[in-house]
Structure 1
Amino acid sequence: MWDPTTYLAFAGHRERPFHDLLARVGATDPRQVVDLGCGPGQLTPVLSHRWPAAKITALDSSAEMVEAARAAGIDAALTDVRDWQPDPDTDVVVCNAVLQWVTGHLDLLPAWLDRLPTGAWFAFQVPGNFAEHSHTIPRGIAESPAWRDTLGGTFRPVDAVPRPEVYAGVLAEAGFAADVWETTYLHELRGADPVLNWISGTALRPVRAALDETRWQEFTAELAPRLRAAYPAHGEDVTWFPMRRIFAVGHKK
């Protein structure tokens, strides 16, 4: 389950990669634009404003996120990306911070790309920080003897997403001009335990789902001081949180 409120707590930071990704999409008059994994829908209107004449299709696999999107006025549909296929008039697909959750997504991409019409654009970004402290520390706790029986295997592996050149190769092999790059954002976070709060809305979601409230408090009590040590506060309660992301934009020749 997703908690849209927790996810949106850092909306400003989470939205910047979406805009950076969209800036490299050169479509001028698309017929249909798909927001594949729209989440709570806060960014779907950006697509409507960019392409006002296009049909905007918003999809997400989380019932909670779809409900939040609909409450915000977005006509979102509940769809698992594994079951999705582009329509013949799908000229733009934007998939923002979704594919890292989909095991085997490299196997899905070729079929999607093949079904897109000539001139279509497929743009996605995924976090590439699975080897950073924000993942290795909670993963280590989850795999420790005290937690292994309950949480073992909960976390995604370090290689949950491939290197950028792998994505470039998939796009090129499918006949797309590939524009692939990576960026490390340095987010300025404030407040108590901001990194814990950040990952509570994403990486720790499966942990929260596996634990009752008492055990969740025990887990976070063990995790919080380790994250504070790895990401110390500076100056006036500022924590600098590096976040590496991989971007890929393909244009079908």
Structure 2
Amino acid sequence: MGYYTPAGGLPPQTDLLTDRAVVKLAYTFIPKGVLRDIVTSSLPGFTGTRSWILARPTPSSATTFSQLIVEISPGGGATRPEPEAGVEGVVFVTAGSLALDLEGERHVLEAGGYAFLAPGANWSLANEGDEITSFHWIRKAYEPVDGIAPPASFVTRDQDIEPTPMPDTDGAWATTRFSDASDLAHDMQVNIVTFQPGGSIPFAETHVMEHGLFVLQGKAVYRLNDDWVECEAGDYMLLRAFCPQACYAGGPEPFRYLLYKDMNRQIRLT
């Protein structure tokens, strides 16, 4: 499996400015071409690290989560990555090797490696290899529910989970589910959605879940509100609640994306 990983750098001075970046009320589209050196951020508590922040709670961005692409050089890392005790997270590795110490147990995550980090979990990470490590880090403030214990941390791999076909699609549209959507302990999911070439979302999904969507592989034409937008590996889409969405996957390889959504909670009004 291939996972697109940004490398930074800057385009030559001869390049035209024209690109596909769009920020609207209903959605944000960040093309891979804007993930350059000049827009990286440093993270407190990390060494040998830079990050691209794709989403954060602001009026023009996310409301429920943040999403970063984190790049750690050999020898870098963090002994206390998560500064907020009530925040849960997901780490998904796209390149290199990441050593994760989780509640005293050591794991080595390579490309396709996935870790759910429960709120309040004790964890650290480091790049102990000779090459740059890159991973997605999705963070959300956990919403507790009386009588339901928070979910436990776990580690798995994309390669070890059989995708679940969507009904009536003959496998053209499938989802790799890393946690059980019916488990009310989870108030978010981060999954991988796969479309075979020619596969589609054949209706305009319009729902309360907010989405962060990073294209890992392939290309498609994606419906965002009232726009059809061409997208490819390395592009990022943020869909706010109730933004209509649909897609047609192109070829010649599968179209795959890492998908965040909030779920399983009553709407707070007070």
Decide: shared fold, TM above 0.5. Answer: no
- Using CA pairs under 8 Å that are at least 6 residues apart, name the structure with larger relative contact order, 1 or 2: 1
Compute the TM-score of the two structures, normalised by the length of structure 1.
0.29
Q: TM-score, normalised by structure 2?
A: 0.27
Structure whose residues are more often strand by fraction: 2
